Structure 1
């Protein structure tokens, strides 16, 4: 597995005198139609907040023998023996303004990970921060793989129960 520094502890805010211009540039180039459809509304909601803008996002993709499309948003098939699965993590990367509203948003995002700390992380990513200060990432993947952008799993069983999908490795 290739380590791509998708996650580090959240950095503290720094001064960003160009935030307004950077946000405007992001808003003017964002094409909602190019986003993964299942998260387009979430990204749009972030764009509506004046204290942040989206840098990048991904719904998360399962690639396996029967599904080779790297942009597919299909769920894993309900079956036993799906085999090796490459999972491209789900995440939203944001630039957050160093302001009272931005600090409140930062704390709200930090609290989201408490819903499922084994699978949801909030932090910074060095490669985003190098391009954009005050950038933060909310990502979904097993805690033990949090520093990897793509992981390989051997799925032994994928089943659905009361609308929830369970994976057994």
Structure 2
């Protein structure tokens, strides 16, 4: 991601609740427009139930190659039996604002810990562009370390397959983190965004 940096320290944010309150209708609108990648809709619905964060932007990650030219496709590479030489990978990520309190700091740590799955391909930090819009914003992204400051990268088919499996593992782990934080805060029975449309 462009302007990606190390995770910045938390700062005081008196506007958090106001901004979080705005985030729900914005997410509803994005769902209605169909602008969210279908494989992560459920994940975002779970994160909106967590009172100490709200999502800012996300991408499932897209593989563009000679057999699939759609820049927004979510087709799994493993569905293409014939290997292609190169793949243009548009990075998978989730950016969110986290409240500066104990629960928020635990969420920060839980997400940051996902980098331990593979430090060469998973980064957690801040992006200047998001921080300028909303302080205490953090991003987890799945991308080769060598290109962590770009939004897309040309990679081999074999590396793309590895990244595909890794991003699916990360998104599954994020889903688990969302459920954990709902339970910790007593919000596990909140209605989902989809059901409230």
TM, length-normalised to structure 1: 0.85
Deviation per CA, 1:36-74: give whole Å up to 9, x if none: 111111111111100000000000000112211111100
**Aligned residue for 2:70?**
69
- Kindly tell me: are residues 158 and 104 of structure 1, through their superposed partners in 2, closer, same or farther at Cα, counting changes over 3 Å? closer
The number of aligned residues is 158
Which has the larger helix fraction?
2
Deviation per CA, 1:7-63: give whole Å up to 9, x if none: 210000111111101001011211345321111111111111000000000000001
1:11-90 maps to which residues of 2 (within 5 A)?
Answer: 11-31=8-28, 32=31, 34=34, 35-76=36-77, 77-80=80-83, 82-90=84-92
Q: CA deviation at 1:78?
A: 3.0
Matched, 1:126 2:124: no
**Aligned residue for 1:148?**
150
Q: CA deviation at 1:156?
A: 6.3
Structure 1: segments with no counterpart, 5+ residues:
none
**Structure-2 separation of matches of 1:65 and 1:101:** 45
Q: CA deviation at 1:4?
A: 2.1
TM, length-normalised to structure 2: 0.74
Which has the larger strand fraction?
1
Structure 2: segments with no counterpart, 5+ residues:
167-197
Deviation per CA, 1:70-107: give whole Å up to 9, x if none: 11100222323x03321110000000011111011111
